Amino acid sequence: MGMLRVEARDCAAPPMWTIKAEEIPAEWERFETALTKTEEELMSLKQRVEKISGATEAAIFDAHLLFLRDRTILGKLNKELPSRLQNIESVYYAVVQNFMEVMRAVDDPYLRSRVLDIRDVLQRVLRNLKPATNAAPQKQEPVDSCILAAYELTPGDTADLDKSRVLGFVTETGSTMSHTAILARSLGLPAVVAVPRLVIDSRSGSPAILDGYDGILIINPSAETRKKYNTLRAEREKAYRELVRMRDLPTDTLDGRHIRLAANVEFAHEFKSIRESGAEGVGLYRTEFFLLGSDGRGMPDEEAQYEHYRRLVEACSPHEVIFRTLDAGGDKLPFEPLVEKEDNPALGWRGIRVSLSRPEIFKQQLRAVLRASAHGHAGIMFPMVSGITEVRGALKLLEECREELRERGQTFDEKMRVGIMIEVPGAAMMADVLAHYVDFFSIGTNDLTQYTIAVDRVNYRVASIFRVTHPGVVRLMARTMQAGVPTAICGEMGGDISLVPLLVGMGATEISVGAHLLPVVRVAIRHLSYEECRAMAQKALQAEDSATIRSLSHSLALKSYPQLF
Ligand code: PEP
Ligand code: MG
């Protein structure tokens, strides 16, 4: 339960307060300083991108720079400031928001796509506007213990949320498979996505209940509803605590098949709790949030990466930590911020494609992981692999890195396991061949589903047909697991206790899930018979539709651990 804080459509509205007419010159001065700083930032970004990608890509910043000093915008601001008599950031925000609305309505896809660039400039200027020393904000919205309601949150926005002030969030767009939702789970933040008309229909300051388990937002709840939710919350917390108590029990099925239960990790603050959670190491470390963090300091160099990875390896020792190399692009953080957006980012420049086209940057990460492997147990895997050429390319660079480290006299684990993510149908089809090149597979069910049945994992309009149990997806998974190398599941499907029997039955040797799901998946595995799961999976693989597959697995789950439902 908390107060709702509604964020405006495009980026967080700045605090608003009234000013006196004589304060206007000082407001302009603050604004001019912010414009100059933004100009410097954009120029330096432009130079950076020019160096990495060339002049064409960097030209986008010319458009940003032009917009920064746009006469129409500045003219409007000049007119509005004396009439509104509010602090300059809130007037500038309103003027630019209006401008973006107009652009959105234009019947020209190119112009419409420019809205994102304008939003970026707006955010930069707002960030660079230093608070006025004499201004005591009078009308600040409540920021403590709020439930954030926003049109959209990017993974970067989500990673930046201050957990001490935000109880949870709800968005108008998004889907449960998006990286925004995955990050919310890692942060332990309740979140509800795809709520139509959220921003228009809700008001800041309204009391609200956010139920992240069932995906419900209740605005202005009655006393009775509040009471019901207070009880429900206490019950859920108690049940969870009981599950956590079993964290030291091995994840073996009733008939003795061991399933490695590992953690998916996104943030450094999770390192400490991994051991305590009882995870058998880390099955997926999504390094992109560390490498492309939104602090604006740029990509950490080899040394900084090595230090960071070493800390994680030591924290998890003796268990293995699987580092997934940079998976930029798609719906995640872009590799080169503010560069022209791609039309089909999910099919574009992401994952291993980015790394292979930037070998020097890729090799920094490979060397850093190799060096970290000397301090415990590390593994490495490559994301978004679509076929053998990428695997060969990545392995060649890895070998070069090993050689370079030997020359430098730096140690690493010569036997470090190397694997690939199976999340592109073409790779799953070729699993038998790819198996000769790597030590393990890790199935990314989020992307494998997205690509197999052509359903954008982020688009809320098609979220209801995103089915991980689509027979096509399940058959590709089975094919992958039959290829003869250990195969993990690291997509969100691994945390769905109705589907754990199917995964175990098809032959998964490892399940890696967000830390909060470990306790419940542990209990599920311990109550399953591998032989029963196998028999059920055989039937599921003959099924014609996703509902039948889900129902077969769910029935066995319900029979094996009714207490978890
Ligand atoms: C996946 O695609 O299932 C996966 C685990 O990778 P990510 O969600 O980071 O794309
Ligand atoms: Mg993926």
Q: Do domains 17-128 and 246-339+347-564 have the same CATH topology?
A: no
The ligand 1 atom nearest the CA atom of 286:
9
Q: How far is the CA of 412 from the centre of ligand 1 (A)?
A: 27
Q: How far is the CA of 446 from the centre of ligand 1 (A)?
A: 5
* Residues 481, 506 contacting (CB under 8 angstroms): yes
Q: If you take atom 6 of ligand 1, which residue's CA is the nearest one?
A: 444
Q: How far is the CA of 490 from the centre of ligand 1 (A)?
A: 7
Per-residue pLDDT at 132 = 56
CATH 3.40.190.10 fits 143-239, yes or no: no
Preceding peptide of 318 cis, ω within 30°: yes
Phi, psi angle pair for 147, to nearest 5°: -100, 120
The ligand 1 atom nearest the CA atom of 264:
5
Q: If you take atom 4 of ligand 1, which residue's CA is the nearest one?
A: 444
The ligand 1 atom nearest the CA atom of 442:
5
Cβ atoms within 10 A of the Cβ of 360, count?
8
> Does residue 286's CB lie within 6 angstroms of at least one atom of ligand 1?
yes
Per-residue pLDDT at 136 = 44
* Residues 143, 5 contacting (CB under 8 angstroms): yes
Per-residue pLDDT at 164 = 79
> Does residue 186's CB lie within 6 angstroms of at least one atom of ligand 1?
no
**Catalytic residue of the set 490, 527, 533, 554:** 490
The ligand 1 atom nearest the CA atom of 179:
8
Q: If you take atom 9 of ligand 1, which residue's CA is the nearest one?
A: 286
398-411 b/e with 16+ CB inside 10 Å = b? beebbeebeeeeee
Residue indicated by tokens 């959209």: 152
Q: Which tokens belong to 163?
A: 């957990």
Report strand pairing: 440-443 vs 191-192. Answer: unpaired
Residue 326 CA to residue 365 CA, distance in Å, equals 8
Per-residue pLDDT at 480 = 98
> Does residue 468's CB lie within 6 angstroms of at least one atom of ligand 1?
no
Give Cβ neighbours of residue 494 (< 8 Å, ≥ 6 apart): 445, 500, 503, 511, 512, 513, 517, 521
Q: If you take atom 10 of ligand 1, which residue's CA is the nearest one?
A: 447
> Does residue 331's CB lie within 6 angstroms of at least one atom of ligand 1?
no
> Does residue 507's CB lie within 6 angstroms of at least one atom of ligand 1?
no
Please state at what angle helix 88-105 crosses helix 71-84, rounded to 10 degrees.
130
pTM: 0.74
**Catalytic residue of the set 11, 64, 146, 179:** 179
DSSP 8-state assignment for residue 338: T
Q: Which tokens belong to 106?
A: 């234009």
Q: How far is the CA of 383 from the centre of ligand 2 (A)?
A: 7
Computed from CA positions of residues 145, 150, 156, 158, in that sequence, does the dihedral angle turn out positive or negative?
A: positive
Which uninterrupted H or E stretch holds 442? strand 440-443
Residue 2 CA to residue 84 CA, distance in Å, equals 31
Residue indicated by tokens 């697995």: 553
Ligand nearest to the CA of 179: 1
> Does residue 423's CB lie within 6 angstroms of at least one atom of ligand 1?
yes
Q: If you take atom 3 of ligand 1, which residue's CA is the nearest one?
A: 444
Q: How far is the CA of 157 from the centre of ligand 2 (A)?
A: 19
CATH 3.40.50.150 fits 246-339+347-564, yes or no: no
> Does residue 447's CB lie within 6 angstroms of at least one atom of ligand 1?
yes
To the query of whether residue 516 is one of the catalytic residues in this protein, the response is no
Q: How far is the CA of 479 from the centre of ligand 1 (A)?
A: 19
- Domain borders along the chain are 17-128, 143-239, 246-339+347-564
Per-residue pLDDT at 138 = 42
pLDDT, tens digit, 9 for 90 and up, residues 431-483: 999 999 999 999 999 999 999 999 999 888 898 899 999 999 999 999 999 99
State which residues of the chain have pLDDT below 50. Answer: 9, 134-143, 296, 338
DSSP 8-state assignment for residue 86: B
Residue 384 CA to residue 23 CA, distance in Å, equals 55
The ligand 1 atom nearest the CA atom of 288:
9
The ligand 1 atom nearest the CA atom of 493:
3
Cβ atoms within 10 A of the Cβ of 29, count?
12
160-164: which pairs have CB atoms within 8 A and are 24 or more residues apart? Answer: 160/294, 161/187, 161/189, 163/187, 163/188, 163/189
Report DSSP letters for 207-273, one per residue: EEEEETTTTEEEES--HHHHHHHHHHHHHHHHHHHHHHTTTTS--B-TTS-B-EEEEEE--GGGHHH
To the query of whether residue 11 is one of the catalytic residues in this protein, the response is no
Query: Which candidate, 199, 190, 192, places its Cα nearest to that of 145?
Result: 190
Per-residue pLDDT at 139 = 41
Q: If you take atom 1 of ligand 1, which residue's CA is the nearest one?
A: 444
Report strand pairing: 191-192 vs 487-489. Answer: unpaired
Ligand nearest to the CA of 175: 1
Computed from CA positions of residues 184, 185, 191, 193, in that sequence, does the dihedral angle turn out positive or negative?
A: positive
Choosing among 3.30.390.10, 1.10.357.10, 2.40.50.140, 1.10.274.10, the CATH entry for 17-128 is 1.10.274.10
Residue 370 CA to residue 302 CA, distance in Å, equals 11
To 5 degrees, how large is the angle CA 76–CA 81–CA 83? 100
